[in-house]
Structure 1
Amino acid sequence: MEIPPLLKKAAVPAAAVVVVLAIALYVWTRLQSDSDSAGFASGNGRIEATEIDIAPKLPGRVADILVREGDFVSAGQVLAQMDVQSLQAQRDEAQASRLRAVYAVGAAEAQVALQQADLAAQQALIHQRESELDAAQRRLARSETLAREGASSQQELDDDRARERGAQAALAATRAQASAARAAVDAARAQVTGARSAVTAAEATVARIDVDIADSALKSPRDARVQYRVAQPGEVLGAGGKVLNLIDLSDVYMTFFLPETVAGRVALGSEARIVLDAAPNLVIPATISYVASAAQFTPKTVETASERQKLMFRVKAQIPRSLLQKYLNQVKTGLPGVAWVRIDPQAPWPSRLDVKVLD
């Protein structure tokens, strides 16, 4: 059906009016949005959380894994158990070495007592030899007097002199034996010290193996949720091999980037708001906890103002721990969204960025 010329002429102005109204509405919306955003800056990012890898300190076989992916775990909870049979054997060996060292201490102490008794006997014998020497010297003095007076024969004098020299030799020998006994006591005491050191070393070895056995029970360092099971029971892992990956849902944040002209005005502790693509009707409160001290995406040369705008700084918006604890089951990582930060402390938050959380 052919449209009359009159209607054609009337349709052209009407279409023009619609286009003008659409353009005006778009411009008004943009201006309104720009006016609302004055004093604020935004950047795209994703929800992230602190990740923790659970891994054994020593190489070994995974005996059992006690949790599943998605489970909530508490600090100190045992998550997995490594095989400890070889460690138990090492502990038994170290315990036997400790007992052997304890017996060695007893034997060394007994040897000290024996050597001390021998030293005491030698010292008593020294006193006896000294008395014998004194008697021999007195007898020799009398014999010499009698010989000068002619009351004693020369043979008796020679016998007394020989007796006195024998007593001196016996005393010297006994003193030498006492010195040897004293050295033997010192050597026996050194053996006691060595044996006690061996006991201490064996006890330290037992304690170290006990620590290794305790560390074979892999525990959660904090309250978290199991994100991945990296290994399975029966697998052999090296030292530091991952068994589980946890995420701490009480330490959640969004990392985003701001240009240099804006990042320089963002202070730690500034208020922020996060709007997730998955829940655009919710506005999550946050606080700026980190601003990078070095720029990212830096060009090779920075010569003009437009190039300086390419300097981007990493910023982190931290979600309050109390809010996360309240909605722990709803927290998800990896969700994209937009983070808004107030760079003008005097600017009020626009109504569209008022905090709105789940009831």
Structure 2
Amino acid sequence: MLKKVLVVVVIAALIGVAVWVNYKSKNHLPEGFATSNGRLELQRLDVATLYAGRVKQLMVNEGDSVQQNAVLAQLSSEQSNSQVMAAQAGKDRAQETVSRADAEISARRQQEKVAKLDLDNTRQLYQQALVSKAELDRRQAAYEAELAAVKAAQAAKAEAVAAVGQAQAQIQSADSTHEDMLIRAPKAGRVEYRIAEVGNVLAAGSKVVTLLDPSDVSMTVFLPTNTVGKLKVGDEARIVLDGLDAVFPAKIKFIADQAQFTPKYVETADEREKLMYKVKLAIPTEIAIRYNQLLKGGMTGNGYVRLDRQKNWAPQWAIKLPQP
């Protein structure tokens, strides 16, 4: 009996040693590496209205995934409709003015031809001494008057054409305003908050929906001076999230140029180190998109950075992506 108890104790001791060694091997930080805990962050996009209006309809709910240019909400558009109709009516009037100017030019050119014939005949008669010099001058003045009338009609047409262009610009402006009553997603993302609701009256620039960009995922960590001095933007990093058996690749996206007080949620190795540098580790876009349903803002974990680029990553930090 005693022998059996000793065997059980020895086995338990061996298991304990194995667990402890495994724990130490996984959590011991080799020389040339540094780590800090942090939380996942997804880039937030505040989608706002360009013009004032009342929320007529909301097409999305919190948590919905949307594609770029998808309609998120619609504001009341009665006023913009009126502006479009008024601009179209102005264009129609301007086009009618152009048509009248064309008719006036045609009529004046016919009168010009008649005046030219009269002038030519009068010149021949004057050479034959059949009409006076005064009559010739009168015919010349009549012809020149018709030339001036043609030019005036052409100028009126040019003015009418310009009015058509101005009216078209007003139509485009009104159409743009009308289109902006539809609040669209600037890029693909996931709805985080519906800030406005149906019936709310919004001022220009008011936020309607907040989106999260699943392609822009990062973790902010805080590291001491002696560590940050060995890092540069673009260096490789690793992110290990709590509760996931995975190691995500990352790159250093940002390093603060000034130290700051360590946030309370960051557990530093030495509590005397009160000033730390903010470092942002970004997961590659293609991986962030592939696991966009898995990676969520606020997930906790650890970020690991390599201080010596000549060292290889330890096996426990080899890239290991979650199974689909």
| Range class of TM-score, shorter chain | 0.7 to 0.9
SS of the residue corresponding to residue 207 of structure 1 reads helix
Q: Tell me how far apart the structure 1 counterparts of residues 293 and 27 of structure 2 sit (CA, whole Å).
A: 36
- In the other structure, the counterpart of 2:214 is 249
Alignment of 1:172-191 (within 5 A): 172-191=137-156
Q: Tell me how far apart the structure 1 counterparts of residues 59 and 27 of structure 2 sit (CA, whole Å).
A: 54
1:344 deviates by: 0.7
- In the other structure, the counterpart of 1:52 is 45
- In the other structure, the counterpart of 2:74 is 81
Flag the 1:258–1:103 CA change in 2: closer, same or farther, 3 A: same
Q: What whole-Å deviation, never above 9, does each CA across 1:330-354 have from its counterpart, x for those lacking one?
A: 2221234332100112223334434
Q: Tell me how far apart the structure 2 counterparts of residues 179 and 311 of structure 1 sit (CA, whole Å).
A: 90
Amino acid at match of 2:285: R
Please give the TM-score of this superposition, normalised by the length of structure 2: 0.81
- In the other structure, the counterpart of 2:17 is none
SS of the residue corresponding to residue 92 of structure 2 reads helix
Q: What whole-Å deviation, never above 9, does each CA across 1:246-285 have from its counterpart, x for those lacking one?
A: 0011210012233444323223332212234x43865332
- In the other structure, the counterpart of 2:278 is 314
- In the other structure, the counterpart of 2:161 is 196
- In the other structure, the counterpart of 2:172 is 207
- In the other structure, the counterpart of 2:260 is 297
Query: Is the helix fraction higher in 1 or 2?
Result: 1
Q: Is the 8 A contact 1:36 1:350 kept in 2?
A: no
- In the other structure, the counterpart of 1:120 is 113
State which of 205, 216, 241 in structure 2 corresponds to 1:240.
Answer: 205
SS of the residue corresponding to residue 230 of structure 2 reads coil
Amino acid at match of 2:49: P
RMSD over aligned CA atoms reads: 2.8
| Structure 2 residues without counterparts, runs of 5 or longer | 1-20, 262-272
Q: Is the 8 A contact 1:273 1:353 kept in 2?
A: yes
- In the other structure, the counterpart of 1:4 is none
Flag the 1:190–1:227 CA change in 2: closer, same or farther, 3 A: same
Q: What whole-Å deviation, never above 9, does each CA across 1:105-147 have from its counterpart, x for those lacking one?
A: 01011111122122222211111221221111xxxxxxxxxxx
Which has the larger displacement, 324-333 or 71-80? 324-333
| Structure 1 residues without counterparts, runs of 5 or longer | 1-27, 137-162, 299-308
Q: Is the 8 A contact 2:35 2:304 kept in 1?
A: yes
Q: Percent identity?
A: 35
Structure 1 residue 102 and structure 2 residue 95: aligned? yes
Q: Is the 8 A contact 2:26 2:316 kept in 1?
A: no
Alignment of 1:149-188 (within 5 A): 167-188=132-153
